[in-house]
Homo-oligomer: A and B are copies of this chain.
Amino acid sequence: MGPIKIGIVGVGKIVRDQHLPALAKDQSYRLIAAASRHGRVDDIANFPSIEAMLDAVPELDAVSLCMPPQFRYDAARTALIAKKHVFLEKPPGATVSEVEDLKRLATANGVSLFASWHSRYAPAVEAARAFLASAKVKSAAINWKEDVRRWHPNQDWIWAPGGFGVFDPGINALSIATHILPAMFITSAVLDFPENRAAPVAAQVVFRTSNGLPVTMDLDWLQTGPQSWDILAETDAGKMVLSGGGAKLSIDGKIVHDEPEAEYPMLYRRFAEIVRAGVSDVDLAPLQHVADAFMLGKRNVVEAFFD
């Protein structure tokens, strides 16, 4: 079986920073086309739309969809019906129900669908999962505090309805937490909406695990200075700190795992694996928690936000 001939759709910052370098180094793929309204990729065929790309390059096996979530369903549907394997950037859609629909379409068309959660592939996540599986957890806390002006400058779509706001980074935290902690659900939430924006800039969420343990999540998008992407757990085997967005693991202050980050290379390795195996990989738990937070959460209106 030759390399997977892949096209990329929605050429923005995440594609240039992560997808292109990961694909360039992976022998399982050959990037042969791109489709984007504004961006382009050098040295391959570029098209204004996914429809134009699929028409002109029928030999494509797969597509990676990296446009904002509000526009992902239509492109995914088009690709799945054309029998292309589909890699969805996170979040996989603007609603849970639409991704359920894409799962049905993928199965009906005999192709693979991948709802990618890059933070799950951070270097120390599996070590944290193994530690928590062997210990008795008493409580956990997710602290995800970053400066939106630094990480998402002038990205208006992220503040639009369906743009998730601070849950855009928060869903990364949830993709790790739902992988390493027991099943949990939200019992209360407070979401802070800037008075001039349709998405929250901060959120405090309280979860409970099935066996009654408390898990808190504190999301803040106005954190200047040091940035925090940490999951902490109190356990009978010591205090676990998974920091740097899953990069580094320490137990009782002692670093036990610290390796260089390779999230997107691992995502593409996983995608190749499910394509070869003829299966899909679509875990919606992180997105489900975000929807639940919006449904259950109390809304505060806070100071206007300007980039």
Contact = CB atoms under 8 A, between A and B. Distances in A.
Interface in A141-185: 161-162, 183-185
A292 interface: yes
Contacts of A96: 96, 288, 291-292
B95 A295 contact: yes
B183 A104 contact: yes
B183 A101 contact: yes
Nearest to A209: B101
What are the 5 tightest A-B residue pairs by CB atom distance, in nearest-first order? A95-B292, A97-B185, A291-B291, A98-B185, A161-B298
Contacts of A161: 188-189, 296-298
Given A73-B185, A95-B296, A198-B299, 5 more contacts: A96-B96, A97-B183, A100-B185, A101-B210, A299-B299
Nearest to A189: B161
A101 B291 CA distance: 16
B97 A285 contact: yes
Nearest to A212: B77
A210 B188 CA distance: 33
Contact of A184 (B94, B97, B297): B97
A40 interface: no
A47 interface: no
A290 B289 CA distance: 13
A251 interface: no
Given A101-B210, A105-B210, A210-B105, A162 B296 contact: yes
A131 interface: no
Contacts of A111: none
A161 B285 CA distance: 21
Contact of A198 (B100, B198, B298): B298
Contacts of A105: 210
A113 interface: no
Contacts of A288: 96-97, 100, 291
6 contacts: A96-B291, A98-B186, A100-B185, A193-B299, A198-B299, A290-B295
Contacts of A296: 94-95, 161-162
A63 B290 CA distance: 31
A198 B188 CA distance: 13
A295 B101 CA distance: 17
